[in-house]
Chain A
């Protein structure tokens, strides 16, 4: 069965500092990987997915199949980036997402 691990429950950085949220997965096939974000008092929403290879709000994520990782990065964090971030995996034949435990990011002024 597939599994997603986010090793950091809490992450705190200062405004302007680089930030990296770690995500590791275990799955024997070729996964589809996503980052979802939940801002305070808002619903969960898609931030980005690896098949799009796009940058959203300055965030990027690269799928590293050798290390089975999909870390989320931003070179200069902003206070409005403070939120809960979830990494999620979907198997190529599946209809379900498997979520990690989530990382609460706080960007301090």
Chain B
């Protein structure tokens, strides 16, 4: 099993450009999450999904959109990138909630100039 994979690994954008980050998991997990990791701020939840076709906002959703059209995929979109969105983005998945382990992807390092 590949576990959780993320595409791409690195990306540089100019302010105002758009892009989509792809997260895929092969563990048949119901729950999927997008986090951003910034120095001194830990991991902050952007959006999450509790099942195919559902999405919900996390702590820092502004400037991002998500979609979960298939159970195994969770897409994170930036419609108009800003320098404040320079970060490392992590995707995670879990079987369910209530104590179930979250499994993380390797991360995507995004720089917005």
Contact = CB atoms under 8 A, between A and B. Distances in A.
Contact of A32 (B50, B92, B99, B105): B99
B42 A102 contact: yes
Interface stretch (A12-20, A58-66, A74-82, A91-99): A91-99
Given A32-B98, A44-B90, A101 B42 contact: yes
Contacts of B50: 95
A45 B102 CA distance: 8
A46 B41 CA distance: 19
Interface string B41-72: 11111001010000000100000000000000
Contacts of B35: 99
A55 to B, nearest CB: 17
Contacts of A9: 40
B13 to A, nearest CB: 23
B97 A95 contact: yes
A95 B43 contact: no
A92 B94 CA distance: 15
Contacts of A49: 99, 101
Given A32-B98, A32-B99, A101 B41 contact: yes
